Structure 1
Amino acid sequence: MTRKPPINRVTKLACVLWASVATTFFEPNSALAQSTAFRQAIAEHAASDRALATFFQEHDYQRFWTVQGEIGTKRRAALFRAIEGAELHGLPAARYDTQNVMQQLEAAKSPRDLGQIEVAMSGLLLDYARDLKTGVLVPGAVDGSIKRERPSFDQKAVLAAFASGNPNALITELAPDSNEYRRLMKEKLRLENLIQMGGWGPAVQAEKLEEGDAGNTVIALRNRLMSMEYLERHVGVVYDQKIKQAVQAFQLANGLEPDGVAGPSTLAELNKSVEDRLKSIIVAMERERWISQPRNERHIRVNLTDFHARVYENDEVQFETRAVVGKNGDDRRSPEFSDEMEFMVINPTWHVPRSIAVKEYLPKLKRNRNAVSHLKIYNRQGRVVNRGAINFAAFNKRNFPFAIKQPPSEKNALGLVKFMFPNKYNIYLHDTPAKDLFAREKRDFSHGCIRLQKPFGFAYEMLSKQENDPKAFFHRKLDTGKETKVLLDQKVPVHIIYRTAFTLPKEGVQFRSDVYGRDAKIWDALSKAGVSLGAVQG
Structure 2
Amino acid sequence: MSSPHRHKAGFGLALCLAAFLGTGALANPSAPALTPFTRSVAEAAGRSDVISAFYAGRSYRPLWTGPEDAERRQAFLTAIAQASAHGLPVQRYDAAELAARFRAARTEADRGRVEVAMTRALLAWAHDLRGGALEPGKVDPGIKREVQRLDPRSVLTAFEADPRPFLNGLAPRTPEYARLMRARMELEARIAAGGWGPQVPAGKLRPGATGEGVLALRNRLMAMGYLGRSTVAGYDASIEAAVRAFQIDHGLTPDGVVGEGTLAALNVSPETRLESVLVALERERWLASDRGERHIWVNLTDFSARIVEGGKVTFETRSVIGKDSPDQRSPEFSDEMEYMVINPSWHVPRSITTKEYLPLLQRNPNAAAHLKLIDSRGQVVNRGSVNFNAYNARNFPYSMRQPPSDGNALGLVKFMFPNPWNIYLHDTPSKSLFDREVRAFSHGCIRLAQPFDFAYALLARQSDDPEGLFQSHLRTGKETVVRLEEPVPVHLVYSTAWAGPTGRMSYRQDIYGRDGVILEALRAAGVVPGAVQG
Q: Same fold (TM over 0.5)?
A: yes
Partner of 2:247: 251
Partner of 1:162: 159
Taking only the aligned residue pairs, the percentage that are identical comes to 53
Given that 2:497 and 2:505 are in contact with CA atoms closer than 8 Å, whether structure 1 keeps it comes out as yes
SS of residue paired to 1:479: helix
Q: Which range is displaced more, 427-436 or 130-139?
A: 130-139
Partner of 1:73: 70
1:43 aligns with 2:69: no
C-alpha spacing 1:168/1:507, structure 2 compared with 1 (3 Å): closer
Distance between the aligned counterparts of 1:153 and 1:537, measured in 2?
A: 26
Partner of 2:61: 62
Q: Which range is displaced more, 122-131 or 504-513?
A: 504-513
Partner of 1:189: 185
Given that 2:80 and 2:94 are in contact with CA atoms closer than 8 Å, whether structure 1 keeps it comes out as no
Correspondence list, 1:261-340, <5 A:
261-295=257-291, 297-340=293-336
1:358 to 340, 354, 358: 354
1:469 to 465, 472, 494: 465
Given that 2:340 and 2:483 are in contact with CA atoms closer than 8 Å, whether structure 1 keeps it comes out as yes
Given that 2:179 and 2:503 are in contact with CA atoms closer than 8 Å, whether structure 1 keeps it comes out as no
Q: Which range is displaced more, 460-469 or 198-207?
A: 460-469
Q: Which range is displaced more, 82-91 or 435-444?
A: 82-91
Distance between the aligned counterparts of 1:248 and 1:260, measured in 2?
A: 5
Aligned residues: 506
Given that 1:195 and 1:536 are in contact with CA atoms closer than 8 Å, whether structure 2 keeps it comes out as no
Q: Tell me how far 1:238 sits from its aligned partner.
A: 1.3
SS of residue paired to 1:401: coil
Q: Tell me how far 1:33 sits from its aligned partner.
A: 6.6
Q: Tell me how far 1:537 sits from its aligned partner.
A: 8.7
Q: Tell me how far 1:345 sits from its aligned partner.
A: 0.6
Distance between the aligned counterparts of 1:245 and 1:322, measured in 2?
A: 24
Given that 1:143 and 1:521 are in contact with CA atoms closer than 8 Å, whether structure 2 keeps it comes out as yes
Name the TM-score, length of structure 1 as normaliser.
Answer: 0.90
What code does the residue aligned with 1:84 have?
A: A
Given that 1:35 and 1:111 are in contact with CA atoms closer than 8 Å, whether structure 2 keeps it comes out as no
Q: Tell me how far 1:241 sits from its aligned partner.
A: 1.7
Q: Which range is displaced more, 291-300 or 197-206?
A: 291-300
C-alpha spacing 1:455/1:33, structure 2 compared with 1 (3 Å): closer
Question: Structure 1: any 5+ residue segments left out of the alignment?
Answer: 1-29
Partner of 2:114: 117
Correspondence list, 1:186-265, <5 A:
186-265=182-261
Q: Residue deviations 1:485-504, cap 9 Å, x none?
A: 11111221111111110133
CA RMSD in angstroms comes to 2.0
What code does the residue aligned with 2:61 have?
A: Q
Q: Tell me how far 1:42 sits from its aligned partner.
A: 2.4
SS of residue paired to 1:317: strand
C-alpha spacing 1:507/1:184, structure 2 compared with 1 (3 Å): closer
Distance between the aligned counterparts of 2:99 and 2:30, measured in 1?
A: 26
Q: Residue deviations 1:127-171, cap 9 Å, x none?
A: 122111111111122111111244322111111111111x23222
C-alpha spacing 1:472/1:279, structure 2 compared with 1 (3 Å): same
Given that 1:302 and 1:309 are in contact with CA atoms closer than 8 Å, whether structure 2 keeps it comes out as yes
Q: Tell me how far 1:62 sits from its aligned partner.
A: 2.7
Partner of 1:25: none
Q: Residue deviations 1:29-80, cap 9 Å, x none?
A: x9967564433332222121112222223333332112323xx111111111
1:431 aligns with 2:430: no
Q: Residue deviations 1:451-493, cap 9 Å, x none?
A: 0011111111221222222111111111111111111112211
Distance between the aligned counterparts of 1:535 and 1:314, measured in 2?
A: 37
Q: Which range is displaced more, 152-161 or 265-274?
A: 152-161
Question: Structure 2: any 5+ residue segments left out of the alignment?
Answer: 1-28
Partner of 1:397: 393
Q: Tell me how far 1:401 sits from its aligned partner.
A: 1.3
Distance between the aligned counterparts of 1:532 and 1:45, measured in 2?
A: 29
C-alpha spacing 1:59/1:465, structure 2 compared with 1 (3 Å): farther
1:531 aligns with 2:530: no
Partner of 1:11: none
Distance between the aligned counterparts of 2:464 and 2:391, measured in 1?
A: 52
Given that 2:340 and 2:482 are in contact with CA atoms closer than 8 Å, whether structure 1 keeps it comes out as yes
Partner of 1:177: 173
Given that 1:296 and 1:315 are in contact with CA atoms closer than 8 Å, whether structure 2 keeps it comes out as no
Distance between the aligned counterparts of 2:63 and 2:520, measured in 1?
A: 37
Q: Residue deviations 1:193-236, cap 9 Å, x none?
A: 11111111100012211111110101100111111111122222
